[in-house]
Structure 1
Amino acid sequence: MVMEWILAVIAVVFLLFVLAGTVMVAAAFKKNIIAEEILLDSLPEPFDGYRILFITDIHRRRLPKDLLEPYKGRVDAVFLGGDMTEKGNKVERLADNMAFLASLAPVYAVHGNHDYRTNITLADNIIRGSGARLLVDENAVIERDGATLLLTGVDFPKKGGKKAYAPLPPVSPQEALLFRIILVHDPLWLSQQKTLPADLVLAGHTHGGQVVLPFGISMHADPFYKRYNAGHYNYAKGDGSGAQAKLLISRGFGTAHLPVRWRSPSEMHVLTLRRGQDGSARPDPWH
């Protein structure tokens, strides 16, 4: 009788484990687009309404063309926050994803840690061959209706580590006055910056914890991620003015290591930049 009871308990536990695994795998392959307006008081007026398709951490997923195709001609740029591929991913999939994104709008990208674990020369040739601008510690000037903003791409350290980043690329005195967006894979980069010369920072890498257990337990151990995990934040520029930059950390579209998610859904973003001060983000009625 005792043995039968033990076997029954084991069977229930096994079934619950299988069910939880099925749910987590299904969650890993969902396709969510979050459309928001980001309010920025220093945004040049001609960039009011500028739309960015922001995607990070694709890893080995195939982008959903049926979901993204309607944005062709309706977004002004595509920003890729790193981990566009990973070790073992088919180069044909990376090529197909990049070619598709380049058909939607001009593409700007930075490396992530998993990109450097692949054949990086081949991956970079595919990325650049699609027409995308790969920013390796570089600035890109974006113009619209006579106004200009500066996009800075921070490259992930080839040897890893939060202290191995190169300095931000230099800017001219005129460029230093421009509205500036920094695109960086890992938001932990921020913890090593004494000052933050930017108005908006876009990052990924965290996957929002990917599998978030009770009591907030997730895969990231660094204390920085306890506070800056996923979503919108204000981040002090540290220049003595009291000014703050807007920070968005995406949960990303793909998954790292195992194709599972729990309480941290995959996401892509359509971000509409707006001049304004009443909050950091709000749903985009255009969407």
Structure 2
Amino acid sequence: MIYFGLFVLVVIAFLLYMLKVAHENNVLHHQLLLKGEQEKIRLFFISDTHLRKINRQMIEQLDGQFDAVIIGGDFADGRTPIQRIHDNLKLLTPLGPTYFVWGNNDREVGEERLRSILQEHGVQIIANDAVLLPKNNRFWLNAIEDTSTMKYSFDEAFAKVEEKDLVVFISHNPGVFARVRAKFRADLMIGGHLHGGQIRIGPYGVHPNGSYREREGVMTLVSNGYGTTLLPFRLGARPQCHIIDIKISGK
């Protein structure tokens, strides 16, 4: 009986630890050097918020304004209170012009309802399209519809882009990145969706841990995401959002 009691205590302690990890506020900083007319561009990326409430103190501690705030999908799901969506957007939108990319769970809220909320907060949706940032360089944010809809189009997302333009390609599901690299040119690719496996046993997980690294010549950011799905626990795949400082110089 004593051993069973100890086992129960260990399990409870382990669950509490995973719950604590799931509610960490980790902001990762990344650097990217590109060639073009000299300037700096700053991006903030957050994905897979799901049910989670964004931490106000984390947002308030971010240094300065951003040229673009990118919400990389699964900002909400069927469990997310509508007021929480509003509250999270109220924290993000003051950081800079805010852009939204569809994830596979967002439409559980109701597509028109979520569109209306995003519009109310001045958030622009990018789906099979590209947005040109008002910078010295022709600097695009390109994004596709979520792959779960089977209505995504790489050709439409890249239709406006010219050969020498700078491009950040965003897809909630990073599984399409290899296909994009094979046909189009991008300077940075950003995605989420995988949660880094969310619960990992050592090096093993359902999906790879998030990373920022070069893949076949293209810098690629795959985020662990900020929230959780199914269970409110994380282990070995800490939650994260991202600051990307892009320095452009030397044509």
On whether the aligned pair clears a TM of 0.5, the verdict is yes
What are the Cα deviations for residues 144-182 of structure 1, in whole angstroms up to 9, with x where unaligned?
2x322111012103446xxx633331424x623201110
Partner of 2:140: 150
Offset of residue 83 of structure 1: 0.7
Give the CA RMSD over aligned residues: 2.2
Residues 1:186 and 2:166 are matched in the alignment: no
Matched position secondary structure for 1:24 = helix
Alpha-carbon distance between aligned partners in 2 of 1:147 and 1:107, rounded to the nearest angstrom: 19
**1:199 maps to amino acid:** D
- Specify whether residues 211 and 101 from structure 1 end up closer, same or farther in structure 2 by C-alpha distance, changes over 3 A only: same
Pick aligned residue for 2:59 from 64, 68, 72: 68
Partner of 1:39: 33
Pick aligned residue for 1:122 from 107, 113, 117: 113
Residues 1:11 and 2:2 are matched in the alignment: no
Report % sequence identity.
Answer: 24
Aligned residues: 248
Matched position secondary structure for 2:155 = coil
Offset of residue 33 of structure 1: 1.1
Residues 1:232 and 2:212 are matched in the alignment: yes
TM-score (structure 1 length as normaliser)? 0.79
Asked if structure 1 preserves the Cα contact closer than 8 Å seen for 2:101 and 2:171, the reply is: yes
What are the Cα deviations for residues 122-159 of structure 1, in whole angstroms up to 9, with x where unaligned?
11211122111110111101122x32211101210344
Asked if structure 1 preserves the Cα contact closer than 8 Å seen for 2:130 and 2:141, the reply is: yes
Asked if structure 1 preserves the Cα contact closer than 8 Å seen for 2:28 and 2:242, the reply is: yes
Alpha-carbon distance between aligned partners in 1 of 2:100 and 2:72, rounded to the nearest angstrom: 6
Pick aligned residue for 1:204 from 192, 215, 231: 192
- Specify whether residues 117 and 219 from structure 1 end up closer, same or farther in structure 2 by C-alpha distance, changes over 3 A only: farther
Offset of residue 15 of structure 1: 1.6
Asked if structure 2 preserves the Cα contact closer than 8 Å seen for 1:81 and 1:184, the reply is: yes
- Stretches of structure 2 that go unaligned for 5 or more consecutive residues are none
Partner of 2:221: 248
**2:167 maps to amino acid:** R
Asked if structure 1 preserves the Cα contact closer than 8 Å seen for 2:107 and 2:114, the reply is: no
What are the Cα deviations for residues 39-69 of structure 1, in whole angstroms up to 9, with x where unaligned?
33x3x334x4311111111111111222213
Offset of residue 72 of structure 1: 7.1
Asked if structure 2 preserves the Cα contact closer than 8 Å seen for 1:154 and 1:168, the reply is: no
Asked if structure 2 preserves the Cα contact closer than 8 Å seen for 1:212 and 1:263, the reply is: yes
Asked if structure 2 preserves the Cα contact closer than 8 Å seen for 1:207 and 1:251, the reply is: yes
Alpha-carbon distance between aligned partners in 2 of 1:234 and 1:135, rounded to the nearest angstrom: 25
- Stretches of structure 1 that go unaligned for 5 or more consecutive residues are 1-6, 237-243, 277-287
Pick aligned residue for 1:21 from 4, 12, 15: 15
Offset of residue 267 of structure 1: 0.9
Alpha-carbon distance between aligned partners in 1 of 2:82 and 2:73, rounded to the nearest angstrom: 16
